Structure 1
Amino acid sequence: MVKKIKAAVLGATGMVGQKFVHILEKNPWFELKSVAASERSVGKKYSEAVRGNLVGEFSEETLDLEVKPINPKALDEAEIVFSALPADIALKTEEEFAKAGFVVFSNASSHRMDPDVPILNPEVNPEHAVLIEEQRRRRKWDGAIITNPNCTTAVLTLSLKPLMESFGLKRVIVSTMQAVSGAGYPGVPSLDIIDNVIPFIKQEEEKVQNETLKIMGSQEKPAEFKVSASCHRVAVLDGHVEAVFVELEEKVEPEKVMETMSNFKGEPQKLKLPTAPDSPIIVRFEENRPQPRLDRMVGKGMAVVVGRVRKDEALDGIKYVVLGHNLIRGAAGCSVLNAELLKMKGYV
């Protein structure tokens, strides 16, 4: 039996932190040793500190864990950490952990655009893992910081990868309908979101545009196609829906696009990583799919679901709808899959 790598979760009481804990509980390669959170939770049992709809799904062993401070010395029994910290706290804290020798898998946006920090979406740009070597050399530390994309970007770039490989990309326009869980807990006030759509999510559009180009470019420079995003918060619990309009470098029929997406496999599938879905992109042919309630847990929440693939006359290209679970594929699940990938590559 392979020896498990000991892991800790930073920001373990929030929505993404809870997803990290839930996924790691059942992971065959990693052992959850510690949970850490802010001072108001330190010293409490995890069961007393955590709130939300996942509480009933944790094991008794996990619920009995004592919440520790977010400090490298307090978490010295762990070998790697998964960070669900808010961006302002993550900025310095993740560097402290990397300096102390921890490999940090971060869901925070703080370091995503650092030139020597990879934003990894494992099926899309696994080759960017080599940036870790430059990071360690430049920053003179033995640890590392590896980020996963913004939740919306994770779903979008996975759907775009087979199109870029097969047909080339010139322009991408995306309009999103994003679940309230993406705003964290307690999230958007009910009086604001019920019977409503909010057409603004702070810094979201910039993240989608900039991260997409970094992820889909080379290690040295971003991709050269254009990306335009418009982001909206809607009254859905989990699952981001994105309407995507693409101008390709080649003219191609919708049927060929659907075939290409359906057949796509990435490095995690070839390596049979534990958290990887068998097929990262599921194509639906019904006219009313995908839908969050029906499709967000496909592939245990790690696959994205594409539907309504058709010609786009305005861009002389293709348009489609893609759905992904924002807390799993778009956050904790992607980060755990990154850790599995980097274990196989020898970085962990």
Structure 2
Amino acid sequence: MSQEEQLILSSLNSQEKLHSQSFNYQSVFLSSVIPDPTNARFFPCVFIDDEHAKQFVNRKLSKKDLMNIYYGEDRVLIGKSCIINCLKYGSHEWKKANQTIESIIELGNNISVSELIQVPTIYPLEDGKYQVLTGHRRFFALVYANGLGSSSQFKIYDNKPLLTKVKQFQENASREDLPQYGKLQAFLSAMMEIDSFNNARLKIGMKKLTVKETASNLGISMGAFDNYNVLTRYPCVLEAFQSGLSLSFVKVKKVVLSVEAEYRSKHDKSVLNITDKKQINQEIKQLLSGKKTPTKAKKAFKFKAIQSANTLKTLLTSDVTTLDIGIDWDNIDWQDHDAVNNAMATVVEYLETRATSQAT
């Protein structure tokens, strides 16, 4: 049993509720707070001492100097009034960090002239420091606005919350400014925690959370929960968003479901195995990367469900176009799926009614 499951099991045995952790609000020095490297908001960063930040702003220290002092290569240096991107120039990580830096600077400038409406959430670590639970961008902005040696108000949990990733997702899912990749990544992390939670429940004779309960604990609707499940079903979707895909969740979900439906129809599959999913993943990847254009799904002819064996026999052995049921067979457009489907529905309904009356 993992340490995480042991903690959950202990909480369940003590009848502790899922989100019942106590907290308070108090002022904490920013230098005693560290970010969570597993959070969707995190990027590899090093905090700069206020004096060094001042010297950099006044051009008494260079970027190279700070990189040497703080071993800043492939990291982002953050200090009062300065954020320095030391990731590999032009790389995807460098570009992504730049976008985050812009939003941090904007928020930091706002903090300088007004109060922070929603304070970051932290919890204590064993070494006397605190770790950010939610509000990473706000925490970075506080350092940028006021410096590492300043203090600020935080929401502080008495202990590390039982399901940290679930709490992080609850916030990430509701924030419009978080990139789609960050939201999907946060969802996967939260679901891993919920899986551990469910495993712990099973070990003490309890049932797993239902889908509705899971969605409720994540703080999202059933529809949104379905969206996240579909979008995290194939690795290529996360990779595409990580690489900068700008399509909406709704459009990408349609692509995924369309490829799945086409594959099921083509291969007559109701249940997809690992090999099937790998193939579907490749097809979705090609579509999202623009290497393949989506094929228009062929419209199928549909028959109403047949209950009577006599109806089926009549359809297979008789010329139903001779039936006097008000259908002008000579003028039916056989390329019009709706017209043909409606005609067949009329035929089946007539034959089913006749079969029922004959049986009685």
More helix by share: 2
TM-score, with structure 2 as normaliser: 0.23
More strand by share: 1
Higher relative contact order (CA 8 A, sep 6+): 1
Larger CA Rg, structure 1 vs 2: 2
TM-score, with structure 1 as normaliser: 0.24
